[in-house]
Amino acid sequence: MTLTTSDGVNIAYDWYPAEKPAGYLVLVHMMSAAKESWREFAGSAAQNGFASIAIDLRGHGQSDGGPEGYNAFSDEEHQQSIKDVEAAVEFLKQKGAEPKKIILIGASIGANLAIWYLADHSEIKRAVCLSAGESYRGIRIVPMLAKLQPDQKLLMFASEDDVRNGGSNASVNTRVVSFVPADVEKELVIFDQGGHGTDLLPQAASKILEFLKSSI
């Protein structure tokens, strides 16, 4: 199954329906991964009343340019992936989802894309971020976090053992979360171990489901 973005890119997706959904999720994978990395979590979310769309970002998986075309992407081409998130949100709206019931969940570069979309679309109220980075391929989250509104909420996860460029992702997230406005509800959960992005899901899933249920 595919969606077509506003710039004409065909994006592959998996749809996980839920009976009488309480909310709707957009699942955005990390670089080098694909939509299947969300399969177990999306199944659990469906059992808890949340329908999900998991997408292959452009250059990944079964989407245009996939499965490994992203390796040759410029930063600008990676940044165009925000249009893939936009197409997924529009898909959910066509399914009847109210914007306030749409929650973005992203891993690594997908986390940065989720924050970007949340910052630019105040009608979307919630996002969950696994291993967000200060800048992935030029997608810088500090100015985006500063734009969040008082009725939006953010749940972030990081791990001390996720070490890149001489520092841990936990320390990066501790620093960047300080740029979230004081009147915006946010929580940063730091694990001692767990790795990067969707590798954190075994530890983070129950907390994410709790957040989803409290958000609707």
Question: Which tens digit of pLDDT belongs to each residue from 74-100?
Answer: 999 999 999 999 999 999 999 999 999
Its sign, for the CA torsion 203, 186, 128, 93, is positive
pLDDT attached to residue 165: 65
Percentage of the chain lying above the pLDDT 70 cut: 99
pTM for the model stands at: 0.97
Q: For residue 176, what are the CA distances in angstroms to 24, 51, 82, 103? A: 27, 30, 20, 21
Q: How many CA atoms lie within 13 A of 186 on its CB side?
A: 22
Percentage of the chain lying above the pLDDT 90 cut: 97
What residues contact 207, with CB distance under 8 A and at least 6 apart? 155, 157, 189
Q: What angle do CA 193, 173, 13 make, to 5 degrees?
A: 80
Average pLDDT, the chain: 96
**Mean pLDDT across the stretch 127-153?**
96
Whether the CB-CB separation of 114 and 128 falls below 8 Å is answered with: yes
Q: How many CA atoms lie within 13 A of 96 on its CB side?
A: 6
Distance CA 130, CA 112 (A): 9
pLDDT at 166 over 70: no
Is residue 164 very low, low, confident or very high in pLDDT (cuts 50, 70, 90)? confident
Residue (of 93, 26, 34) closest to 58 by Cα position: 34
What residues contact 42, with CB distance under 8 A and at least 6 apart? 14, 16, 25, 27, 52, 54
